[in-house]
């Protein structure tokens, strides 16, 4: 099959060598409501310092921890959680404990 460069529609219909079609990824659903006080006590039991500040904000870890990071957990709205911080051991520990407090249903 020969493609005429003057007709761009034919060139767009063909894929590049080695490319794959984009497939949407399934979304997982977390069931349960996060209680920051429950997360704080769970983190304290595994040795991560956590402090509640303001309305719906939990600060986890300090610069004195071995991994040197801190993470903020915010409840934005019902069912919405924001995890903000530098990539560190504390970040992954807090994320894992949030997952452990919920039932995860994979799509």
- CA 60 to CA 73: how far, in whole Å? 8
Does 5 reside within a domain? no
Full residue range of the structural domain in which residue 44 is found: 23-105
For residue 17, tell me if it sits in a domain. Answer: no
81 found inside a domain:
yes
Domain assignment of residue 3, yes or no = no
Position 14 in a domain: no
Number of domains in the chain: 1
Is 42 within the bounds of a domain? yes
Whether residue 93 lies inside any domain: the answer is yes
pLDDT per residue of the chain (107 residues) written in tens, 0 to 9:
455 555 555 555 566 677 778 888 777 788 888 899 999 999 999 999 999 998 889 999 864 545 568 999 999 887 788 999 988 999 999 999 999 998 888 76
Model pTM? 0.67
């Amino acid at each position: 099959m020969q493609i005429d460069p003057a007709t761009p529609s034919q060139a767009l219909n063909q894929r590049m060598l080695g490319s794959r079609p984009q497939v949407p990824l399934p979304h997982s659903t977390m069931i349960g409501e996060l209680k920051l006080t429950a997360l704080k006590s769970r983190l304290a039991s595994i040795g991560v310092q956590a402090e509640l500040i303001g309305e719906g904000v939990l600060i986890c870890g300090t610069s004195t921890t071995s991994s040197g990071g801190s993470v903020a957990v915010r409840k934005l709205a019902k069912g919405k959680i924001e995890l903000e911080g530098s990539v560190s051991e504390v970040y992954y520990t807090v994320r894992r404990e949030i997952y452990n407090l919920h039932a995860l249903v994979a799509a």
